[in-house]
Each structure stands twice: as structure tokens, then as C-alpha cells.
Amino acid sequence: MSATASPSVTACYAHAVLNATAEGESGPSASWDLPTDRLEYGEMRALWDSVLDAGDAGPHTGLLVGDRIRPEGLHILGHLVLTSAGLADAARAAERYHPLVSQAGTVTLHRAGGVGRIRYRPTVAPAAMHPQQVEAVVAGMVRAARWIAGDDWAPLAVSFAHPRAGSAEPYARVLGCPVTFDAPENTITVADEDLDRRRPLYDPALNALHRAYADRLLDQLSAGATAAGRVRRWLEHAGLEDAGPEGAARELNLSVRTLRRALHAEGTSWRALLDAARHGRAGRLLETTDLPLDRIAPLVGLSGATALVRAFTRWEGLPPGAYRLRHRPAPPDPDGTGGG
């Protein structure tokens, strides 16, 4: 995603946050059709504001939400963790694939002195991320580690860069280790022996399948700064005779509703992008082939030569026959004189 694009968060994580609170019954989760639908970060912050403003919310709500995270709340990253060879492998997966869950922060693993430090750094302005959101992420990473290491596993220490809110007891109970605040970083410290302990039943082929899918999603996320750009790239190779928003949405791992909403927010629409794709392909076919108009029309998704003439005249201000004459090179002069 480009540096100017707003960070986004996957719908499955937003849904998990809602399900971990009383907001799960009445929250906006019905507006998402697929777990890979994405929210702009501002929407996610508004969701958190509603959670933290609820009557039963308290200073440890974020901590408890993170501790209740389940694999489906992290979508493919959750499955990668579950099929990892050990904690180090899981941490490296989080380092690479965390953007699939949220682009509002980064996860990094640093190892030195017999320990590993898993750091979480928000990429949005400090005022834009509530400390309880950070606590949910860090507690969620500890919970994910327990999917591998067991429910009784605990890190050596956890630190948060913000001040403590509320009593210390819930932090010790949920995280199971010493917890410090006002620290330089949000960090989970893990012993090397825990990081390097391999699971007895590890299936590398299953992990590779999950990783391939995660790589595909990551490529799609980073390849296009906008939904419109991703749709344009898809339309370049799609069969326009039966192209519909369902196919584009499926390829982009979005619901049709989310795709239409994203395109509207970018000032365009599926219809406008399809029309532009038809224009471009018709022009290329006229320039590079001798196909008659009634053969070109279905290749660009139009009903026949009459529809092509009408559409092309609207696009270019001249009919396709005149366009072809203007853009095709003149045949070679048989006597080589150039006719001069």
C-alpha cells in the first residue's frame, strides 16, 4: 500500500473484537460479508471507541479482548500460527503477515542475550491508537503463543509504552509474567529455549499451503494502493464478455458490497472501470488485428457491431472503422517509391 493510503484492518479482527465484548450482539459486523473485507483504520478506531464507551467497559477491556482472541480472529495468520513448527516460526510469521490483520502496526522479532523480544509498534499517530488497543494486540500475541506452547505457558516479561490504567492484578493474571509500563517499547520477552522448542507433531506441507495463501493475500494488499487500481489490473486479463463485479471481488478477496463501497469512496464505480476496460481493449484490437467489428464486439462484452460503433463513437468521437484507418500503418508501397 502506498505511503499516502490509509492503513486498514481486516474485518475478521474487527469481528473478533466485537465478539469478545457485549458489543458483539449489536455491533456493525453485519456490514461485512467476508473475513478478508477491510476497514479503514478510522472505522476500527470508532469501533474501539464504541467498545470502550460501553457501560460494562473498564480499564482492562483491551487486555481481556486480546486474551479471548481465537485463530479465526486473525484469519490466515491464525492458521499459520497453529501450523507453525514452534514459537520462533510463529513469531516470524507474525513479523511478515501482520499487515494482513492490520496495517496500523508492525511486529518484529529481535534475538540477543538468550532471549527474543517481540515488539509491537503502532504506525499511526500516538493519539490515534488507544492504549487498550495496544494491550489487545499484545495480549492477543501471548494468547496465540499459547495455542502452540499450551495454556500454562507464559513469557518472561511484557512491557507497555503507556502508563498503567487500573489495578496490576489483571495484567499478571492474563499475561502470567512481570509487566512494566512507561517502557521504551511494547515488548514480549521470550526465552530462547521456548522460541526454539519444536512441536512434536508438525506438518510442513500444511504450513506451506497456508503460507502460499498468505503470500497471495499479501501481494494483493501491497500491489494496489487503491481498489480501483486492483480492479483495473484484473480487468486487463479478464474475459470482458462475462466480466462482473463478483469475479473481481472474488479475486481481490472482498465481498461485492465492500468492493462497490471502496470504489465509490475513490470516486469511481464498477461500471466506469468496466467501460474503460472495454474502451482500451477495443482500441487495441482495432490497432493490432483485422478482426471485423462483429467479432470484436463480443470480445469486449458488447452485443454486436452496432453496439460497438455506438460505444466507440462515444469513447473516441469517431467510429471504429475510422479509428482503425487512423491508427493502422499504411500498407507498404509495392514499387518502393512511397507514391511521391
The residue type at 298: P
In whole angstroms, how far apart are CA 177 and each of 87, 151, 214, 338?
17, 13, 32, 87
Which pLDDT tens digit goes with each residue over 244-263?
999 999 888 889 999 999 89
CA angle 230, 232, 233 (to 5 degrees): 65
Whether 144 contacts 69, CB under 8 Å = yes
The stretches in the chain having pLDDT less than 50 are: 1-4, 24-30, 337-340
The per-residue pLDDT for 340 is 37
Strand partners, 10: 38
Which cell numbers hold the place of 187?
A: 515488548
Q: Which residues contact 269 (CB under 8 A, 6 or more apart)?
A: 260, 263
Q: Measured in Å, how far apart are the chain's first and last C-alpha atoms?
A: 55
Residue 279: which of 245, 248, 323 has the closest Cα?
A: 323
Distance of CA 183 to the CA centre of its chain: 30
pLDDT for 339 equals 41
pLDDT for 222: 72
pLDDT of residue 68: 96
| pLDDT on residue 29 | 45
Asked if 183 and 111 touch (Cβ cutoff 8 Å), the reply is no
Predicted pLDDT of residue 31: 64
Give the residue from 295, 297, 286 showing the smallest Cα distance to 320: 286
Burial annotation 80-105 (CB, 10 A radius, 16+ → b, else e): bbbbbbbbbbbbebbeebbbbbbbbb
Task: Report the C-alpha gap between 150 and 152 in whole angstroms.
Answer: 6
pLDDT score recorded for residue 330 = 57
For residue 44, what pLDDT is reported?
95
**218 vs 82, 90, 228, 262, CA distance in Å?**
19, 17, 17, 18
Residue 156, C-alpha cell as written in the block:
518472561
Q: Which three three-digit cell numbers place residue 220?
A: 494483493
Residue 226 identity (one-letter amino acid): T
